[in-house]
Structures are given as C-alpha cells and as structure tokens.
C-alpha cells in the first residue's frame, strides 16, 4: 500500500518507508463523518446506496487536499466501491 505522501506527491525524491524510521507518534487526528439529520441516515452503511436509489451516480464530499480527512474519505470511497465528487475547499476550517 502506498504511503500517504506517495499517494499525494508522485515524485518525492525519497522513499518515506526506507529513508525514515518512526520514533514516536506525535498526535492523533480524529475524523468524523457528518450528515445532516434531515437526510435520515444514521449509519455509514446507509450512506453508500442512497445516491443509487435516488438515481444519482456519485456522492459529493468536501475536502482540503492532502489532509487526513481527505485521505480517509478516499479510503472510505475506495473500500465502499462508489465514485465520489470532491468539493475542494481552501482550508480545513472551511471544509
């Protein structure tokens, strides 16, 4: 599996796995999936088939490029097997 840096930058000039050694975790970045209560979706498994039932091809989701929430959303999209429309934002607070 590619490292997050490799997934975001094609030509880094170094190998994140081979050229660096982990010493200690520096932090924890929690991610939250937020859906308006008016949508009637209570669990993530209810989210993926929803657009298909409505005749839509994809889900839309906001992201700030290259951040943990962006990469988490991509991982969720790939593992759940749906196409997604990225809505780019200028920064994390806006997204």
Pairwise CA distance, residues 75 & 67, whole Å: 12
Across the range 56-72, mean pLDDT stands at 75
Q: Of 56, 73, 55, 51, which Cα lies nearest the Cα of 64?
A: 73
Longest dimension (CA), the chain: 49
Q: What is the pLDDT of residues 72-87, one digit of tens each?
A: 888 888 888 777 777 8
Percentage of residues in the chain having pLDDT higher than 70: 82
What confidence tier does 3 reach under pLDDT thresholds 50, 70, 90? low
The span from the CA of 51 to the CA of 39, in Å, is: 12
Residue 94 has pLDDT above 50, yes or no: yes
pLDDT tens sequence across 30-50? 878 888 899 888 888 888 777
Give the single-character DSSP code of 33.
-
39 touches 33 (CB < 8 A): no
């Amino acid at each position: 599996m590619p490292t997050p840096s490799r997934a975001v930058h094609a030509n880094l000039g170094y190998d994140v796995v081979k050229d660096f050694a982990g010493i200690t975790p520096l932090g924890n970045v929690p991610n939250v999936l937020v859906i308006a209560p008016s949508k009637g979706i209570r669990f993530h498994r209810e989210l993926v088939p929803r657009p298909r039932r409505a005749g839509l091809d994809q889900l839309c989701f906001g992201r700030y490029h290259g951040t943990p929430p962006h990469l988490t959303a991509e991982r969720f999209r790939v593992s759940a097997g749906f196409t997604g429309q990225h809505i780019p934002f200028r920064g994390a607070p806006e997204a």
